[in-house]
Amino acid sequence: MKNFALCLLATALMSCCQAAPQKAEEPIAIISQESNIEPDGSYNYAYETANGIKAEETGTLKKATSADSSDVIIARGSVSYTSPEGNLITLNYSADDENGFQPQGDHLPTPPPIPPAIQKALDYLLSLPPAKRR
């Protein structure tokens, strides 16, 4: 019982040490910031911080094309920052109701090329009439 009490006390003391305030980093200044929201829901915003982060986005209203669909906001934007390795990372993106979120950037991974034998088989399968594809 005495050992249990000592373990409980040690655990409580370590918890207090972990919960103590840690060294706070200096807040990063915002160099510029703009934001505009229109009554129809379209918007744009942009900001830049002192540590080199930049972002901007524009959202535009896309009216419904039929009675069974609704209006949507289509977004386009970009964000850039410097990676821990010192490389400038830029991500451009768009998002809509037809294609979803579409990011583009040199830092994003890409799939390896399809081996020629596999591509040849895929091309052959696509050349078959629909009834024979199953």
Share of the chain above pLDDT 70, in %: 81
In a domain, 126, yes or no: no
CB count in 10 Å sphere of residue 133: 9
Give the model confidence (pLDDT) of 26-65 as tens digits.
899 999 999 999 998 899 999 999 999 999 999 999 887 7
Identify the domain containing residue 74 by its residue range: 28-109
**In sequence order, what are the residues at sequence separation of 6 or more whose Cβ sits closer than 8 angstroms to the Cβ of residue 39?**
none
In a domain, 102, yes or no: yes
Number of domains in the chain: 1
In a domain, 56, yes or no: yes
In a domain, 22, yes or no: no
Confidence at 15, pLDDT banded by 50, 70, 90: low
In a domain, 20, yes or no: no
> What phi and psi, each to the nearest 5 degrees, are found at residue 77?
-170, -175
